[in-house]
Amino acid sequence: MPSLAPHLPQLICPAGSLPALKAAVQSGADAVYLGFKNATNARNFAGLNFTDSQLKSGIEYAQSQGREVLIAINTYPQAGRTAEWQASIDAAADLGANAVILADLGLLEYATRRHPQLRRHLSVQGSATNFEAVNLAYEHFGISRAVLPRVLTLPQIEYVIKNTPVEIEVFGFGSLCVMAEGRCILSSYATGESPNTHGVCSPASHVQWLPKGDTLDTRLNGILIDHFEKDEPAGYPTLCKGRFEVGDASYYAMEEPTSLNALSVLPELIRMGVKAIKVEGRQRSPAYVSEVTKTLRAAIDAASDPRYSVKPAWQQALSKVSEGHQQTLGAYSRPWR
């Protein structure tokens, strides 16, 4: 069910396909975010995402259940191809999306001018980490919401909320990365393609999984980025989560695969006035969407109770589908300064 109380944040869930969208709605998402089948969104994976007709029936279904559909057009147009990105904004407006999630300033300007009635959210890819940046986007493009990058502590998030009229959305669960969102060019070092312009960190055409007996090597465009021993958990084939030789040792030189899990700080996020909690994972299956949405729904609905505590069953459900050995509060909890 959608949020029972108006002060509760909206639960925003991912969908890479129509069955995933239905799973999100049936499991209690207030809104579903998704993308077109092209490079205009940050999960441009082979076979993933929505054709126009799938999107049309997805929007009809979600809105008939009183939920919203937010369309992510959150990559930066490739040189000379801006028209494709603008056409996606036009399509989102024509299909009746509740909002578009944008990062590029030129596209924000285009959407503001061409479709003033269409709500605009500033994507996490927009990399706005302070209230001045959020307010600048508000003044120029009338954004109604900003998704904060996962680099801020709870007090920092509260400081942004206190100083902006814009609704603030934060991540509640999902795989983490090095979080230079909108600025990461790491994968273009190996593949010539970057998530910012092509919508994918490790294009599948460049990925090779090579089993050798019971072990497994991962290569990205020929570059060895990880090696897994028998039964050792694997991760996504991204450079940032690879293990590399540094000096005499080989280890996660940039980041170990981990998943953010903000269940324990939900009451704090609600008290601060966070307006929406987002779940990562448009590349995941309907089974994931359903499991995570149900868990987050139950937790958010319980979080305004002063006796709230994280149920072991919730942790178990989330831990099962997590990438990496560990779940973390990420930057939310950083006792040091």
The β-bridge partners of 215 are: 212
Which one of 106, 185, 189, 205 is in contact with another protein (CB under 8 A)?
Answer: 205
Residue 326 binds another protein, judged by CB under 8 A: no
Calculate the alpha carbon distances from 303 to 12, 216, 297, 316 in Å.
16, 42, 10, 18
Which one of 87, 133, 207, 317 is in contact with another protein (CB under 8 A)?
Answer: 207
Residue 20 binds another protein, judged by CB under 8 A: yes
Residue 280 binds another protein, judged by CB under 8 A: no
Residue 155 binds another protein, judged by CB under 8 A: no
- Binding part of the chain for another protein, among 78-86, 116-124, 206-214, 308-316 by CB under 8 A, reads 206-214
Question: Residues with Cβ < 8 Å from 293, sequence gap 6 or more?
Answer: 11, 13, 23, 24, 27, 28, 29, 279
Q: How far is the CB of 282 from another protein (least distance, A)?
A: 11
- Binding part of the chain for another protein, among 12-20, 99-107, 266-274, 303-311 by CB under 8 A, reads 12-20
Contact indicator for 58, 69 with CB cutoff of 8 Å? yes
Determine the Cα–Cα distance for residues 335 and 337; give it in Å rounded to an integer. Answer: 7
3-state secondary structure string across 197-255:
HHCCCCCHHHEEEEEECCEEEEEECCEEEEEECCCCCCCCCCHHHCEEEECCEEEECCC
Pick the closer one to another protein by CB: 45 or 110: 45
Residue 211 binds another protein, judged by CB under 8 A: yes
Which one of 26, 38, 54, 112 is in contact with another protein (CB under 8 A)?
Answer: 54
Binding mask 239-258 for another protein (x = CB under 8 A): --------------------
Pick the closer one to another protein by CB: 283 or 315: 283
Residue 145 binds another protein, judged by CB under 8 A: no
What's the sign of the alpha-carbon dihedral 54, 41, 319, 306?
Answer: negative
Calculate the alpha carbon distances from 73 to 96, 312, 320 in Å.
15, 36, 30
Which one of 87, 105, 178, 216 is in contact with another protein (CB under 8 A)?
Answer: 216
Question: Residues with Cβ < 8 Å from 74, sequence gap 6 or more?
Answer: 35, 40, 41, 42, 101, 102, 103, 123, 124, 125, 126
Question: Residues with Cβ < 8 Å from 336, sequence gap 6 or more?
Answer: none
Pick the closer one to another protein by CB: 56 or 271: 56
Residue 17 binds another protein, judged by CB under 8 A: yes
- Binding part of the chain for another protein, among 116-124, 163-171, 246-254, 322-330 by CB under 8 A, reads 322-330
Contact footprint for another protein (CB under 8 A)? 16-20, 45-48, 51, 53-54, 203-205, 207-211, 216, 228, 231-235, 283-288, 290-291, 320-324
